Amino acid sequence: MSSGLQDFQQRLGHTFADEALLRLALTHASFGHERRQPLPDNQRLEFLGDAVLQLTVTAELYRRFPELPEGRLTVLRARLVNRQHLQQMAQELDLGGHLILGRGEENSDGRRRASILADAMEAVIGAVFAEAGWDIARALILRLIEPSLATLALEDDTSAANPKGSLQEKLQARGDHPPVYRCLSETGPAHARVYEVVVEWQGRELGRGQGASKKEAETRAAEAALAGL
């Protein structure tokens, strides 16, 4: 076993019985493309790891926050499985330093690119699941995301109760302009109206939501925007 990969596995908290599986998880498609050969890469493991991550996070949020509705759980899950958070996890493990890239990606700062790091992080999770099974993969994921889960628990009372207020605070910290809510449609009979609202900031759409009132639709839109941020 190479010392570099040994250090990585120590940080990850899992030692692979088959180091070739770990190398596959770290191999970007550009490596084979440049050689014009059908070399295996990490895309299949990424597909697997994404599913394992989604299920683990969904089940843990369901267990940890029994009082939250489905919409709020969806928002919290998005914050834990999005590209930015996966990139952060990869950086904390120094995953980029072990990627196997094509020369083009190597020369264009691919080791630090968010999409490549996030995909490789999912592939590593997929590799752990493929080799060691559900229990080991789940425990590893929960250990990696625990700091973020703890932060969510501290933040959740405020943001869950007032997503529009939370969104405005986050956006005004980035600039002077508040978010703008705009009703896109109003459908259904008078006794069962459905409103669709979009929230925009500086001309950019941040999220959409539907509800039985404009207020509810605005709240759903704010939740969607918070998930994206």
Instruction: Reply yes or no on whether 122 is catalytic.
Output: yes
Looking at the fold, whether 134 and 173 belong to one and the same domain comes out as no
pLDDT over 80 at 133, yes or no:
yes
Q: Long-range contacts for 106-113 (Cβ within 8 Å, ≥24 apart)?
A: 110/28, 110/30
Between these two residues, 41 and 165, which has the higher pLDDT value?
41
Place of tokens 């009372």: 157
Paired with 180 in beta bridges are 200
Rounded Cα distance between 21 and 27, Å, is 10
Q: Which of 105, 137, 160 is the last residue of a domain?
A: 160
Looking at the fold, whether 172 and 146 belong to one and the same domain comes out as no
pLDDT band for 160, please (50, 70, 90 cuts): low
DSSP per-residue codes, 87-135? HHHHHHTTGGGG-B--HHHHHTTGGG-HHHHHHHHHHHHHHHHHHH-HH
Pick the catalytic residue from 122, 196, 218, 223. Answer: 122
pLDDT of residue 1: 45
DSSP structural state of residue 100: B
Instruction: Reply yes or no on whether 50 is catalytic.
Output: yes
Looking at the fold, whether 128 and 190 belong to one and the same domain comes out as no
Looking at the fold, whether 131 and 223 belong to one and the same domain comes out as no
Looking at the fold, whether 102 and 182 belong to one and the same domain comes out as no
pLDDT of residue 214: 92
**What is the model's pTM?**
0.69
Looking at the fold, whether 102 and 38 belong to one and the same domain comes out as yes
Lowest mean pLDDT among 122-131, 148-157, 187-196, 218-227: 148-157
Looking at the fold, whether 114 and 193 belong to one and the same domain comes out as no
pLDDT of residue 104: 83
SS3 197: strand
Looking at the fold, whether 125 and 219 belong to one and the same domain comes out as no
Q: What total of structural domains would you count in the chain?
A: 2
pLDDT tens digits, residue range 183-201?
A: 999 998 888 889 999 999 9
Pick the catalytic residue from 41, 46, 50, 60. Answer: 50
Tokens coding 225: 């925007």
Looking at the fold, whether 125 and 176 belong to one and the same domain comes out as no
Domain that holds residue 35: 3-160
CATH number at residue 147: 1.10.1520.10
CATH number at residue 194: 3.30.160.20
